[in-house]
Amino acid sequence: MSDALLDAALAARAQAFAPFSKFRVGAALEDADGRIHTGCNVENATYGLTVCAERVAVLKAISEGARKFRRIAVAADTDVLTPPCGACRQILWEFCGDVEIVLVNPRGKTESYRLKELFPRPFDASFI
């Protein structure tokens, strides 16, 4: 069974700009209206300015007017599926809340989590 969100994440991975690490990641974020917003990692020679696929997808979605989200798929070519990094978990929490996260690789292996499972005590505006 094909899933458009997973397919979009895998396709976005092909667009990754990762000349230094060769670690290509794609993400696809589904908004409340069913639209899919994609992103890929974009590396920079300084590494510190590299932007992860998940953050690219979230920022693109926000810039296109989306404000509520259902789930995000993250695609990487690893046998042990790759979850979002800490910075991406923070951005996902701030903009998506306890969203479903589906990890996938090109061989069709998948795992699903709620963000709260991966990020149990998030910092957000309630602490300010």
Tokens of residue 54, six digits: 């998940």
Among 30, 43, 54, 94, which one carries the catalytic annotation? Answer: 54
Answer whether 114's CB lies under 8 Å from 98's CB: yes
Helices marked H in the chain: 4-13, 53-63, 86-96, 115-118
100 an active-site residue?
no
Name every residue whose Cβ is closer than 8 Å to that of residue 116 and which is 6 or more positions away in sequence: 98
Active site residues: 54
